[in-house]
Chain A
Amino acid sequence: MTKIDTGSPEQVLPTPSHTVGPFYGYALPFRGGEDIAPAGHPGTVTVHGYVYDGEGNPLPDALLELWGPDTQGDVPTADGSMRRDPASGGFLGRNGVEFTGFGRIQTDANGHWYARTLRPGARGRSAPYVSVCVFARGLLVHLFTRIYLPGDEAVLAADPLLARVPAERRDTLVAADEGHGTYRFDIRLQGEGETVFLEFQ
């Protein structure tokens, strides 16, 4: 029964999630998916890291999506993350001017990923963060987490989520400052140092 009767809300039940599998690589990644910040923007930060499994091995087939506000904390409304070339059907890539806030990055053969995006501004009651959605072969339902940037301890301490996370796990949500606007953020799917994942209700 896959025609949904919207006249009876109790019959409107969610479509189950499935794994992204191993073969999304020719479909989902797009040119410039990791270069989210407009070219030469002074608010650009580089975030990078590895994705690890429960034995500490890096995943060469994970896919991350990043979604974050601009430096003022405003949610981007521009489309154009994956601008296409109507002549060839290929990707033109971003125009380097507009900020769409959305990035999609496949880990490389070493399990490493990187993104250049804008340092997020604060919104609402939260400390500034970039939202992350993790997909992988073997992962039956995607995982949400957040990248908080270090620096202002008072702001991080006041964040409603970070305040609720057990102290020994909190650092999994805060990137490490490597200098020159570069931050390290590893994702551990399982085991020691397991990343804090989120469920929205």
Chain B
Amino acid sequence: MTLTQHDIDAEIAAEHAAYEKRVADGAPVEHHPRRDYAPYRSSVLRHPKQPPIAIDVTKDPELVELASPAFGERDITDVDNDLTRQHTGEPVGERITVSGRLLDRAGKPVRGQLVEIWQANSAGRYAHQREQHDAPLDPNFTGVGRTLSDDDGCYRFTTVQPGPYPWRNHVNAWRPAHIHFSVFGSAFTQRLVTQMYFPNDPLFPYDPILQSVTDDAARQRLIATYDHSLSVPEFSLGYHWDIVLDGPNATWIEEGR
């Protein structure tokens, strides 16, 4: 039977209602998606059914997961954070500047850590051979960027606005425009891979990946804010997006949390 947007909408609504009821009944707020989220069909066979085993990091400060891999200046090049300058010509699309801070749960800056991004081009096409969407490739745009957070935890990328694109979760499924982010913290436990969205995208309610974050406030934290002060005159529009890493780090132990 053909799976329609209407079917997926009903499943998304049911998952959302179930979450709201859990919270109303006293369950904790869920900042992350559940790995078992059927409206996103690819999750069905790829989530564990056994609960994870909890490790209390305060009991052993020597855990290797409390340290993080190091990345340095030799792991990036000067144009890595400017996706519009990686080819001989200019990519097609609306230029944007995306910037924000990398923070831990205590609100402290995460310094000198690797931030990687990848995205579709302005037509909604990834430079990936298995991509089936027949929108045009842009010879002047790959869509990969890297940078290190600075001493204030800040990162900054120049790129073009990615386009939305179709996928095959169900008939007429479209992903809202987004940029993929991969981020390291000061501890491997803080590792985060996620996606940043743009304000006011009409596709938000239809997308089972965004809606997998069932908490309304948490979902808002995935959406960047238009920031005129980041817009570069006669060049680009600015978006601000702060990233807060979850997971315990070594500071927790020092502070006795």
A-to-B contact residues, CB < 8 Å: 1-4, 6-7, 9, 12-28, 53-55, 57, 59, 65, 67-69, 75-86, 89, 100-102, 120, 123-126, 129, 131, 133, 135-144, 160-161, 164-165, 169, 189-191, 194-201
Contact = CB atoms under 8 A, between A and B. Distances in A.
Contact of B182 (A2, A28, A79, A190): A28
Contacts of A65: 191
Most buried by B among A21, A135, A140: A140
The secondary-structure label for the interface of chain B is loop
A12 to B, nearest CB: 4
Interface residues of B, number: 94
A13 B69 contact: no
B246 A140 contact: no
The secondary-structure label for the interface of chain A is loop
A9 B255 CA distance: 15
Contacts of A133: 188, 191
A192 B153 CA distance: 43
Nearest to A56: B45
A85 B54 CA distance: 41
Contact of A3 (B44, B142, B225, B246): B225
Contacts of B213: 16, 18
B218 A125 contact: no
B128 A53 contact: no
Interface string B172-192: 000000001010000011011
B166 interface: no
B88 to A, nearest CB: 12
A12 B107 contact: yes
Contacts of A15: 192, 194, 221-222, 242-246
